[in-house]
Amino acid sequence: MYTGTPLWPRARNLSVQLRSQTTLLAEESGGSPFDEALSSPWWRLARRHAQHPLPAACLSATVELRGLGDVDDDTAGADAGNLYRLLQREGVIAGDPGPLPEALCEATPLEAVDLARAPRAGVITRLADVGTTVEAGDVVAELADPLDVEHPEARLPVVSATAGLVFARTDQRIARPGDVLVKVAGEQPLAHRVGAALLTD
């Protein structure tokens, strides 16, 4: 889940109820995402008119409901149930949503996400599984060069720059130089990511 830093911790119920395993915060993520277009005018107004209390009039977020291969009745039903209970919790729909489930993650800054990129072209022979916890320096992908006939078994390791949770990986099997292979959500901003825009920028 992605949401604006000024909306935290108000957005925590959304993250928890939707069972988010990675919640990323940014005030300006770049690319004018829809959720930011709705919410950011309010925190900008509040900053400009600090002498007047101006609460956020909108709670918005971008939610990624897993990947292309994760569509089935049970998963969709669980997601729909959590969205329904969230609307109950927010007072939009009548009814008792029950107790809030235990949080699966704490929110972390978007600048703490490492984008493990392919240093050169190659065939992707291994990718870390989504949901895996890794340490800085761990191998999260391997590339083979199909044109290297002298070393056909050679593999180029791609390592994570941070400790954290693997929350996304490419669905491609061939990498071009610079392609993002794996995304790892860490806790501390990374020097090469500070000031960076959206995850794929």
| Residue 58 pLDDT level (bands cut at 50, 70, 90) | confident
Most confident residue range from 37-46, 72-81, 139-148, 160-169: 160-169
For residue 71, what are its two tokens? Answer: 């569509």
Q: How confident is the model at residue 114 (pLDDT cuts 50, 70, 90)?
A: very high
Provide the strand spans (E) within the chain.
2-4, 24-26, 61-62, 108-109, 113-117, 122-127, 133-134, 139-144, 156-159, 164-169, 174-175, 180-185
Confidence (pLDDT) at 71: 79
Q: Are 164 and 185 in contact (CB under 8 A)?
A: yes
Tokens 């600090």 correspond to what residue? 50
- pLDDT category at 54 given cuts 50, 70, 90 is confident
- What are the pLDDT digits (tens) for 164-182? 999 999 999 999 999 999 9
Q: Lowest-confidence range among 37-41, 81-85, 103-107?
A: 37-41
Q: What's the rounded Cα separation, in Å, for the pair 129 and 168?
A: 8
Residue with tokens 């400790």: 163
- 164 in Cβ contact with 114 (< 8 Å): yes
Q: Looking at the domain covering 109-185, what would its CATH class be?
A: mainly beta
pLDDT tens by residue, 179-195:
999 999 999 999 888 76
* Mean pLDDT for the chain overall: 89
Cβ pair 194, 111 in contact under 8 A: yes
Query: CA angle at residue 36 from 85 to 100, to 5 degrees?
Result: 20
Taking the domains of the chain in order of start, what are their residue ranges?
2-106, 109-185
CA distances from 161 to 122, 137, 190 (A): 21, 6, 8
Confidence check: pLDDT of 198 > 60: no
pLDDT at 197: 58
Which pLDDT score, from 0 to 100, does residue 8 have?
92
Residue 172 to residue 149: CA distance in whole angstroms: 23
| pLDDT level of residue 200 (50, 70, 90 thresholds) | low
